[in-house]
Amino acid sequence: MRTIALAIALTTVACGGSPTSPTGQAEQFTGTVNGQSFTASSNGRGALRTTSTSTVSMVGANCSSGANLNLMVKNPAVGTFPVSQDVNVQWTPDARTGTAAQEQWQAPGGGGFTVGTGSGNVTITSLTDVRVTGSFNVVVVAGFNNQDKTPKTVTGSFELSFATRTIC
C-alpha cells in the first residue's frame, strides 16, 4: 500500500517536464515484463524522495496503455537490495479505470493481498541529491483478486531525477 501512496503522490504533484541528466542524457525507465517491452512515456516517469531521504519511490508509466511499474526502497544507498518489507516492486498492466486497474502484481507480496511472495533485487548504482540510477530483476506475484495468477518476471533500468512533476 505504501508504494501505491507514493505513486499517487508522484502522479498528483504539479508541473514537470522531461529533465535530463547532468551530462545531458535524457531520463529513462525501461524494461520487460515476461519478455514484453515496457517503456515509460517521457511524461510518465519520476522519482520522489520522502522524509529527508529515508525512502525513494520511482515510477514508470506508459501513458498510452496505462501500464505502470513502481519501485520503493527504504533507506536507499548504492547497492543491491532483495525485495523485502523495505524494497517493494509493483506492476499494474493497466491502471486506468475498470477491472483492469485492479489487476496488480507485487513483490514481496504479503498482507493477505497477494498469492506467494515474489523475489529478486533492485540495484541502485548511483544516488545523489538530484538523481537515482539503477536496475531491477524481480518476479512479482498476482494480487489476491487477480484473475491471472501467473507470476511475472520484471526486469529493467531507470535513470531519474528527483523532481516535482505530473505523471501522464
Kindly report, residue by residue over 14-65, the tens digit of the pLDDT.
233 344 444 455 799 999 999 999 999 988 999 998 866 689 999 999 999 9
Instruction: Give how many domains the chain has, as a whole number.
Output: 1
Domain with 27, as residue range(s), is 2-161
Whether 167 maps to a domain, the answer reads no
Which three three-digit cell numbers place residue 28? Answer: 529513462
> Measuring CA to CA, which residue among 62, 67, 53 is closest to residue 132?
53
pLDDT value at residue 22? 47
- Rounded mean pLDDT of the chain? 80
Residue 76 lies in a domain: yes
144 pLDDT higher than 50? yes
d(CA 57, CA 112): 23
Task: Give the whole-angstrom CA distance, residue 43 versus residue 45.
Answer: 6
Q: Give me the percent of the chain exceeding a pLDDT of 90.
A: 53
Percent residues over pLDDT 70 in the chain = 76
Domain presence at residue 86: yes
Categorize the per-residue pLDDT at 8 as very low, low, confident or very high, splitting at 50, 70 and 90. Answer: very low
* In a domain? residue 166: no
Beta strands in the chain (DSSP E): 28-33, 36-39, 45-50, 55-61, 68-74, 79-82, 87-92, 105-107, 119-127, 131-142, 152-161
Three-state SS at 127: strand
Residue 11 lies in a domain: yes
Structural domain contains residue 40 = yes
How big is the chain, counted in residues? 168
**Is-contact 126 133, C-beta < 8 A?**
yes
